[in-house]
Amino acid sequence: MPVVDVDPDELRRLTGKEDKSDDELKDDLFALGLEYEGDTEDGLMQLEFGPDRLDRLSVEGVARSLRYQYGDDRGVYVPKTNDPDWTIEVDESVPDERPYVTGAVIRGANLSEAGLDSIIQLQEKLHATMGRKRVKGAIGIHDLTMLKGEMLGEEGGNSITYKGIDPEGDTFVALDSDRELSPAQVLDDHPTGQKYADIVAEYDRVPAIYDELGLFSFPPVINGRRTEVSTDSRDLFVELTGTDQWTIDHMCNIICYALAARGATIEQVEVNYPSGTAVKPDFEVRTKTVTHDRIETMLGLELDEQETIDLFERSGLDAEAASDAAEVDAELDDEAEDLAYEVSVPPYRVDVLHPIDLVDDVGRAYGFNELVPKYPDIGTVGGRHEHSTLEDAARRSLVGLGFEDLLNFHMISGEENYERMHVDAGSDVVGGGEPVEITEPYSEDYTQLRSWALPSLMMVLENNTHRPYPQDLAEIGLAAERDDSENTNVAEHRTVAGALARFDATYEDAKGRLQALCRDFDVELETPATEHPSFIPGRVAAVVIDGEEVGVVGEVHPKVLVEHDLELPVAAFEFRLDALADE
């Protein structure tokens, strides 16, 4: 989950709640779905939130949400924009791999040290999320006074040019550098260039942005030092390039709203493509519709029309009643009623995709803690499924054996699931199943469902090397792999994984815990020798329960430990949970 660092004093100033204590702020933030994770060394609050609300990746966005929650702001706010004075000319030489560009001019920005830090953090967080580590979209922010635009003929105005160039061609002084470098030299010699070189490695021509003085930006890698932004900068030029116009347009909107919150004025920019002209930023207000019945049914509330509209406005949305629900919410034709709402969604909200998202906003504005639990109006009483009962029993046994119970994400990257464990995708070893991949992943960190749980435990160990040892971790969770024989083409199962990280961890330690667990469930365990690339040869065995091979146990291979920066041995096991069930 994304974590953003927020200055509590800045938050109080931007919300106008100077008298709020830190504890009160934490309670208000939790009501928004932002969880307090701790403080940085500099006294900043670390807040974790759902990755859908990317407008909250900065203190400005968090403050905006709080003002709505407090009732100080209401409805959709769209910043006023001035007519364009600057143009981005898109040359036909632009690489086909990165054809899109957008931008905005910011006038009168008031950037304190804290404000500049917040904008830089927002830029990098957007890169990591919507921008998919700059692959899908990248942001450049420049001091406008250091740009010299080319004159646009008789009509006046200034222009810069987005084009493709030879990597060995023109040079510029990049940020954190003191010498002229060509794009190819940046990729070879500059730390930032080396980090993002893979993005443009296959390009015949690399993206570049020029003003009249020459090259000043090498997207998506690095800006030039000439246009570096400081606390003295008042006018800014924001440019974004990427592989998808919608993505970079909405990243631009989020940046513009954050700067507008600090008193800046937004000025439009013309983007001249060979195929036509567009005016950016695009602050179009979208509309979504939802029926009153759906809101009440989902939340278990009885609300009148004005109460509902009020809750929408306190969510930063506008709503008006529509007369025919069958027209405005086609998904609910079978339940159509007279009252529905046409809801206006502001340009910075990239998360509102479905009527359910509108219901969620109404629920948060009402206060989920204010909802009164009640039994559903049905004639049956629920109970635990036998699979759930088995899982709970296994979890209790693992805790009794000294393991700390974990709950990790079911999604993971291919690198973590396979490469860092030295397992080949599609192999027949435990964890080697064909990956269940996400067609359009939101983040490169979560591109597939995990095929086994041990990589998740190794990641936890890697992130906790500063904690005392021993660390004995266990997890029971979902694993999945491609299987064309299934109706869904996906085979899912619950898996049990355990890892012991300590200076004297051995195969016998892992096997001993596994034997004790099997005794609790009265099943027979056998451990014939086997081979597995994640484990040391000769110190690894198959897990055979009641005659069926269901997993693996052994000492983790040193090359896997090195991959995870671990300096202590780790013994581990993993097997299918259903092997413990009574036949």
- What six digits make up the tokens of 306? 């004005």
The pLDDT confidence band at residue 327, using thresholds 50, 70 and 90, is very low
Alpha carbon of residue 350 to chain centroid:
13
For residue 350, which of 48, 53, 4, 33 has the smallest C-alpha distance? 53
User: What is the per-residue pLDDT across 179-228, written as a single tens digit (0 to 9) for each?
Assistant: 999 999 999 999 999 999 999 999 999 999 999 999 999 999 999 999 99
Please give the annotated binding residues for Mg(2+), written as ranges: 351, 357, 360-361
Q: How far apart are CA 417 and CA 435, in angstroms?
A: 9
Q: Which residue has the tokens 């219901």?
A: 359
- What six digits make up the tokens of 311? 């809750």
Give start-end residues of each CATH 3.50.40.10 domain in the chain: 81-280
* Single-letter code of the amino acid located at 578: D
Q: Is 208 exposed, middle or buried (0-12, 13-18, 19+ CB in 10 A)?
A: buried
Q: How far apart are CA 148 and CA 146, in angstroms?
A: 7
Is residue 152 predicted with pLDDT exceeding 70? no
Q: How far apart are CA 58 and CA 125, in angstroms?
A: 9
Cα four-point dihedral sign 223, 225, 228, 230: positive
Residues 169 and 204 sit within 8 Å (Cβ to Cβ): no
Give start-end residues of each CATH 3.30.56.10 domain in the chain: 3-70, 286-370
DSSP category for residue 53: -
**Torsion angle defined by CA atoms of residues 258, 124, 458 and 530, in that order, rounded to the nearest 10 degrees:** 130
Residues 127 and 242 sit within 8 Å (Cβ to Cβ): no
- Give 497's strand partners: 475, 574
Is residue 326 predicted with pLDDT exceeding 50? no
Pick the CATH number of 386-580 from 3.30.930.10, 3.20.20.100, 2.40.30.10, 3.40.50.720: 3.30.930.10
The β-bridge relationship of strands 404-406 and 471-482 is parallel
For residue 501, which of 365, 402, 373, 435 has the smallest C-alpha distance? 402
Pick the CATH number of 3-70 from 3.40.50.10490, 3.30.56.10, 1.20.1440.230, 3.40.30.10: 3.30.56.10
The pLDDT confidence band at residue 385, using thresholds 50, 70 and 90, is confident
* Single-letter code of the amino acid located at 314: R
Q: Which residue has the tokens 């550098």?
A: 177
Q: How far apart are CA 570 and CA 505, in angstroms?
A: 6
Q: Classify domain 286-370 by CATH number.
A: 3.30.56.10
Could you tell me the CA-to-CA distances from 92 to 86, 161, 194, 261, 272 in Å, in that order?
Answer: 19, 11, 27, 36, 11
Average pLDDT over residues 353-364: 93
pTM of the model: 0.71
Is residue 337 predicted with pLDDT exceeding 70? no
Rounded (10°) angle between helices 292-299 and 305-313: 80
Confidence (pLDDT) at 144: 96
* Range with the poorest average pLDDT among 4-18, 141-155, 446-460: 141-155
Please give the annotated binding residues, written as ranges: 351, 357, 360-361
Average pLDDT over residues 548-554: 96
Q: Classify domain 81-280 by CATH number.
A: 3.50.40.10
* Single-letter code of the amino acid located at 81: T
The β-bridge relationship of strands 471-482 and 436-437 is unpaired
- What six digits make up the tokens of 22? 């830190």
Confidence (pLDDT) at 338: 67
Average pLDDT over residues 107-116: 92
User: What is the per-residue pLDDT across 405-431, written as a single tens digit (0 to 9) for each?
Assistant: 999 999 999 999 999 999 999 999 999
Residues in the chain: 583
Question: How many CB atoms sit inside 10 A of residue 101's CB?
Answer: 25
Alpha carbon of residue 319 to chain centroid:
29
The β-bridge relationship of strands 448-449 and 436-437 is antiparallel
Question: Which residues are within 8 A (CB) of 63 and not within 5 positions of it... i.e. 6 or more apart?
Answer: 10, 11, 14, 15, 261
